[in-house]
Chain A
Amino acid sequence: MNNIIKHIIFIVVIFISGAFMSFIERRALGLWQDRYGPNRVGLFGIFQFIADVIKIIFKEDWIPPFSDNKLFVFSPIISLITIILSFIILPNAINNETDLNNVGILFVIAMAGINVYSILFAGYSSCNKYALIGAIRASAQSISYEVFIGLSLMGIVSISGSLNLINIIDYQNTHFWFLITQTIGFITFLISGICVTHRHPFDQPEAEQELADGYHIEYSGMKWGMFFISEYVNIILISILIVNLFFCGYKSCSGLHLLILFITKILVFIVLFIIIRASIPRPKYYQVMSFCWKYCLPLNLINLLLTGIIILCYNT
């Protein structure tokens, strides 16, 4: 019972920080682009996200009559649940020992794989040309960059000898940060993380100028809100993963200063996501795909090969 309450609190915290991210993003973008962001609700507009959530909840829950309504309702639920499920494997104060830790990183990749269906089915069930094109773009992009999410982490896995996140963090605490040896892996993981969350430089599936709003063009109210929150929760997940995998992470619950350091590292990456959105223009779709297969794939394979050679030399 105690455990269930802890987990519910954990999920609620994730939700609230996901919704709060939207406020941070709008405010920070306003700051950098020399204009006011939302600054009316509460101190510095800090309660803007509550107003947004109330508005979204009380909107009419409309399902288009021409759509495939079962799938239409189902797809935002997949998108949110798969991302929340991936939080299971992160080492935290609630559970340090689950069975799933054996497969750790693979579980995140599996959940990202299922997450593609939410987009595919959303685009299909909307029965709309823009949605369909957006879904096809989004799924092709997600599938090809999921390959690199896996491939960029294999160097880390082979050095630390485990898929378990706790072991990886322990290895970094005793030896070195993986940022030093796996720089290519880090860069690829960051890029493919942006790509899988459909953030700005890689948001061709939602490009307003070409596709109106891509796969969630027919969605409104809370169903759209679920897609929206899942995007922000996904950013938080990717930032936590980056910190855990490349920047030493958070070593159990020892000391408040370590916790503050950990949260600061995560915040740096969240802000980096927003800065990238604010500063880089959107490339064409085929450029995104050719960059993926022509540069990321060979670079990562070479990286993996070199890592393997160095491990072999070091061990013998």
Chain B
Amino acid sequence: MLFYISAIIAIVSTLNVIISNNIIHALLHFIISLISISMIFFFIGANYAGVLEIIIYAGAIMVLFVFVVMMLLNPIKKKLSFINLKNWISTSSLTITLLGLLLITILKYGLNNRNILVGSTIPHTPHPFSVLLFTTYLITVEISAIILLTALIIASYLGRKQ
């Protein structure tokens, strides 16, 4: 029951992101949808994933989005509309294709894979997760660290005094 409530909230708020005229309201709806997705993680027992979702996406990335939008444009009086016919046709055709693919996958494999996490024997604590990060996925972690380092250097280069 709780799963369905948070799933419906996630879908409605994500729709609102697309429809909304006010860019800050769109961002707020996006944050709500991220939090409701993390609620789903909590319900299936993956606390760690849920908390990480809140910390990284809702707590760090979206704050920067809101921050930049607030600094660069004052959107209270302006009504920004992202929906004109040209964009609408191309994006909706792409979305319909994706939806079709998703439906085909669901029809083929069924929806009963929802309790993958619940059935697994690994406890949902940070420990097994971090062990996996430093053994199986070591190369991925290293590459992402190098990318972040480059981003940091570039940011400090752009932000230097002339």
Contacts and interface: CB of A to CB of B under 8 A. Distances in A.
Contacts of B42: 99
Given A99-B45, A103-B47, A110 B76 contact: no
B157 to A, nearest CB: 17
B134 interface: no
B19 interface: no
Interface string B87-126: 0000000000000000000000000000000000001111
A28 B115 CA distance: 56
Contacts of B47: 99-100, 102-103
A102 B63 contact: no
Interface string B27-70: 01001000100000010010110011011001110010011001
B28 A136 contact: no
A143 B48 contact: no
Nearest to A139: B67
A124 B70 contact: yes
Contacts of A262: none
Contacts of A127: 76
A113 interface: yes
Q: Select the residue from A70, A100, A110, A143 with max chain B CB neighbours within 10 A.
A: A110
Given A71-B24, A143-B60, A163-B126, A117 B31 contact: yes
B66 A110 contact: no
B109 to A, nearest CB: 29
Contact of A139 (B35, B63, B123): B63
B71 interface: yes
A226 interface: no
A110 B51 contact: yes
A84 to B, nearest CB: 16
Chief secondary structure at chain A's binding surface: helix
Given A102-B48, A107-B51, A124-B24, A113 B67 contact: no
Contacts of B24: 68, 71, 121, 124
Interface residues of B, number: 27
A90 interface: no
Contacts of A109: 55, 59
Interface string A126-160: 01000010011001100100100000000000000
A103 B123 CA distance: 12
Contact of A117 (B63, B125, B126): B63
Interface residues of A, number: 30
Given A100-B47, A127-B76, A139-B63, A71 B55 contact: no
A132 B70 contact: yes
Contacts of A103: 47-48, 51, 126
A120 B66 contact: yes
Contacts of A112: 59
Nearest to B22: A68
B6 to A, nearest CB: 16
Contacts of B25: 70-71
A98 to B, nearest CB: 10
Contacts of B60: 113, 143
Given A68-B76, A99-B45, A103-B126, A110 B71 contact: no
B66 to A, nearest CB: 5
A286 to B, nearest CB: 13
A264 B28 CA distance: 41
Interface in A52-106: 68, 70-71, 99-100, 102-103, 106
A166 B106 CA distance: 43
Interface of A: 68, 70-71, 99-100, 102-103, 106-107, 109-110, 112-114, 116-117, 120-121, 123-125, 127, 132, 135-136, 139-140, 143, 146, 163
Given A117-B63, A120-B70, 16 more contacts: A68-B76, A71-B25, A102-B47, A103-B51, A106-B51, A106-B52, A107-B51, A113-B59, A116-B63, A120-B66, A124-B70, A136-B67, A140-B67, A143-B63, A146-B59, A163-B125
16 contacts: A68-B76, A99-B42, A99-B47, A102-B47, A106-B51, A109-B59, A110-B55, A110-B58, A113-B54, A116-B63, A120-B67, A123-B70, A136-B70, A139-B67, A140-B67, A163-B125
